[in-house]
Amino acid sequence: MEICTYPDPVLRRKAEPVGKVDEGLRKLCERMVETMIRADGVGLAAPQIGVSKRIIVLDVDGEFHILINPELVSTSPETEEFTEGCLSVPGVSATVKRSAEATVEGTTLDGSKVRITGKGLLARAIQHEIDHLEGRLFIDRLSPARRESIRKEYERNRREKK
């Protein structure tokens, strides 16, 4: 599957909830996992492959998760700054402040409810992928000046690749 890149409008839409888990959804999730691995990512949200549905996959520090209709239920008041990039905004990165701990609830492919609490990179990946489901990109968390600088760098990189 191809990864949608900024400024594709699908990346700015709030994703729709998933109805029932069926074979088509399982195959979509399998393709999402393959796409994430091929792109050497730690997470992928369905909007990043052009599907405006509330699905994320994560592969962080040996923990692998597929979450249907995930919801961020809590974040810690403590924050951490770390350099972040995105498969949908390739070739650029920036320091982003996020909560040091995050808890997400969702449904697995077998229909079980699950609650995951992550720290460090897992917390960051959870928040990053949930942002995608809300139509936000990591660059939206930057100051206006830094966001404009990153946008110009991204556009310059895109022109050079053509």
Task: Tell me the catalytic residues.
Answer: 129
- The answer to whether 70 and 29 are in contact (CB under 8 A) is no
Distance of CA 22 to CAs 68, 111, 116, 124, 150, Å? 12, 10, 23, 29, 40
**Which residue in 18, 11, 112 sits closest to 68, CA to CA?**
18
Handedness of CA 72, 73, 75, 77 (dihedral sign): positive
